[in-house]
Chain A
Amino acid sequence: MRPDGAEVRPNLRDTRPAMTPGVRLGTVSFVWRPWNVLVTVLLAAAAFLVFCLSIGIGDFPIGLDQVIATLLGRGEQVDEFVIMDLRMPRALAGLVVGVALGVSGAITQSVARNPLASPDILGITGGASAVAVFLVTVSGGTAAAVVNAVGLSAAALAGGLGTGLLVYFLAWRRGIDGFRLILIGISVSAVMEAITTWLLATADIRDVARAQAWLVGSLDGRSWDEVRVAIWGTLVLLVVVGGVSFQFKPLHLGDDVAAGLGVRYTRVRAVLLLCAVLLAGVAVSAAGPVPFVALVAPQVAMRLVRCPTPPIVASGVVGALLLIGADLVARTALPIGLPVGVVTAAIGGPFLVYLLVRANLRLPGQG
């Protein structure tokens, strides 16, 4: 039996035969999968629709046609103010954070070869949370000065990145093994959690409420400044991921095969993991540790696209759809304006359980 029983395995029914036509553009070649592209485009359209709906719904409702007209620069002035200044940052933050989490999840799940690996489990969100809570709760000159100078989001990003790197180096032992990576991630997360808990226990109750609100993950009250950083960060990282991703697929075949196909797997994996960590960090710094999107999105995308491994682009699109959808639900359907993190946890928890039970029932012989 493999050490990580819940491993991503090609499901033979869903895998297309190797005859699928290839496309070659200069030195780059890839397999042309019309179904994959169709589903991804449809998902993107759905995400855009929810995005527009989310912008339109609120205390001052704006019709869908008006929203689209305004986005195209042909709207009325009132609408333009409401949309561009008030609602756009929040909706865009949802979009970007969703994409970042989805892609980050797709990468970590592929590298760890385990559908349950996600930035939550690899300690990134835990580290970001600990730093953010530290800054919010520890009163005194230094912390306040740091918050003012670099911003809570940037500090959280640094915390997440630092923890992610720590996990990576702790798990390094002549290479990275997915199983070890996850277990080390869990233990580092536990330390970060202990620190967070202790900070919360010793802090002033008003600070605690602020920290707690941040800890659950929310899109509420995003400003353009915060969103702009998240957008640029995500874009740059996506370009890097896109560049490396052609060497990515063979990793699923195992290190030896990948090496045989000319992939320098250790380096590719390190770059990809770094990108995943950074993407998760950007997401956490913009919206707090929104749980489960990184876990759920790639799995949903995998099933919709009918692909044996988490597809990167589709995962990002599903992540965006999921997050804006959840935010819309949190904002409109629920009574007291709960943060989006509560909704994603309510969806994600049962989904994780479903994955586990399914992986368990399916283990040997049927993969």
Chain B
Amino acid sequence: MGTTALERPTSRGTTQARRRRVVGLSTLVVLLVIAGAVSLAVGARALSPADVWHGLFAAPDSDQRLTEIRLIVQTVRVPRTVLAIVAGIALGVGGALIQGYTRNPIADTGLLGVNTGASFAVVAAIALFGFDDPFQYVWFAFLGAAAAGVVVFGLASIGRGAGNPLTLALAGQGVAVFLAAMTTAVALGDKESLNALRFWNAGSVAGVGFDVIWPVTGFIVVGLVLAVTTLPAINLLNLGDDVARGLGVNIALSRTVGIAAITLLAGAATAACGPIAFLGLMVAHVARYLTGPDYRWLVPYAGLLGAVILLACDIVGRLVVRPSELDAGVLVALLGAPFFAVLVWRGKFKSA
């Protein structure tokens, strides 16, 4: 077990630690603002800060150049940046929650089969109904993600394997391989869905408009609210089910709320961006390193870190293979998998 709630059961006693955490949180907010600003400026066409400012706030006028800039900033850069922040927060918080609830240090929303569930639903929806607009199939992605997440989570929680890190990873892997093959089977018979799938599958925050972002954000906000209400319960659950029950936690209720929150967060983020694995896993570990095991601090840290990292990956992806782009999801995986491997290698998850 990597989560060591017993080491520091209450740390709010020391005002110094508290101050350090507040400073850390503020630093992350500042980093996020900077990353957001960079994200608005960087891209196929680099813009100066003044240009970005104009693009955001200048009133429409006849200047050809300014109109162009306004178009780029408002219809391309702003949605992209907003989505990266929203999805990053969702995946970060989802990752931290899932590790808290499963007491499993390698739990990750991406490893839960959420991604492939969403892919399969997208392909099936396109093949069956001929959708061609992300706004139409985002709902199917959401449903597929939620269904796969619940199935994998349920499978991994049956019996005594619930506390075993390997079980969840394997259940996720098994369902993922199965769904991936089914997805391919559908996609092979249907060019349209194959084409839509391959773009969606890479995991990108680009190319989605506010018509998709607003409803997705709605789900994520609900998920975040649910998440916040369960934070004290997670701390107690990490002391063990019996202790938590003794301290008055309604275990069944708090688990249900937790799973609902995770599903909303991961499902909504995946629906909008496509599969982005390892982000939640990474930030949960970094957050734990920074704050210690208190989930009331860990979760906000993880959310902000998720947003910063996703934004950063998106920005880097725009720069490294110009004039083309590397999708944020691919970069996150390239960053996250070695991170995961190092954690494994250092023997972090020796026993369940």
Contact = CB atoms under 8 A, between A and B. Distances in A.
Interface of A: 1, 3-6, 114, 116, 120-121, 170-171, 173, 179-180, 182-184, 186-188, 190-191, 193-195, 197-198, 200-202, 205, 208-209, 212-213, 215-217, 291-292, 336, 338-339, 341-342, 344-346, 348-350, 352-353, 356-357, 359-364
A208 B197 CA distance: 11
Contacts of B324: 202
30 contacts: A1-B352, A3-B166, A4-B164, A5-B160, A5-B166, A6-B166, A120-B177, A183-B341, A183-B344, A186-B173, A187-B344, A191-B334, A191-B337, A194-B329, A195-B330, A200-B198, A201-B199, A208-B194, A291-B177, A336-B189, A338-B185, A339-B185, A341-B181, A349-B179, A350-B178, A353-B155, A353-B174, A357-B158, A360-B167, A361-B159
Contacts of B185: 216, 338-339, 342
B106 interface: yes
How many B residues are at the interface, by size bracket? 35 or more
A261 B114 CA distance: 46
B352 A5 contact: yes
A4 B166 contact: yes
Given A360-B167, A364-B160, A3 B351 contact: yes
B314 interface: no
B350 A3 contact: yes
Contacts of B179: 349
Nearest to A7: B166
Contacts of B160: 5, 360-361, 363-364
Contacts of B175: 349, 353
Contacts of A360: 156, 158-162, 164, 167
B182 A361 contact: no
B330 A348 contact: no
Contact of B166 (A179, A194, A350): A179
Q: Which of A3, A190, A338, A357 has the most CB of B within 10 A?
A: A190
A188 B173 CA distance: 13
Interface string B282-312: 0000000000000000000000000000000
B136 interface: no
Nearest to B326: A198
Given A356-B170, A363-B159, A188 B178 contact: no
Nearest to A209: B194
Contacts of A200: 198, 201-202
Q: Which of B170, B201, B352 has the most CB of A within 10 A?
A: B170
Interface of A is mostly: helix
Interface of B: 106, 111, 155-156, 158-162, 164, 166-167, 169-171, 173-175, 177-182, 184-185, 187-189, 191, 194-195, 198-199, 201-203, 277-278, 324, 326-327, 329-330, 333-334, 336-338, 340-341, 344-345, 347, 349-352
A121 to B, nearest CB: 6
B178 A180 contact: no
Contacts of B351: 1, 3
B352 A3 contact: yes
Contacts of B184: 212, 215-216, 341-342
Contact of B177 (A209, A339, A349): A349
Contacts of B340: 183, 187, 190
A217 B181 CA distance: 9
**Nearest 5 CB-CB pairs, A to B?**
A349-B178, A345-B181, A360-B161, A194-B333, A360-B159
Contact of B182 (A186, A336, A346, A359): A346
Nearest to B175: A349
Contacts of A114: 166
B345 A194 contact: no
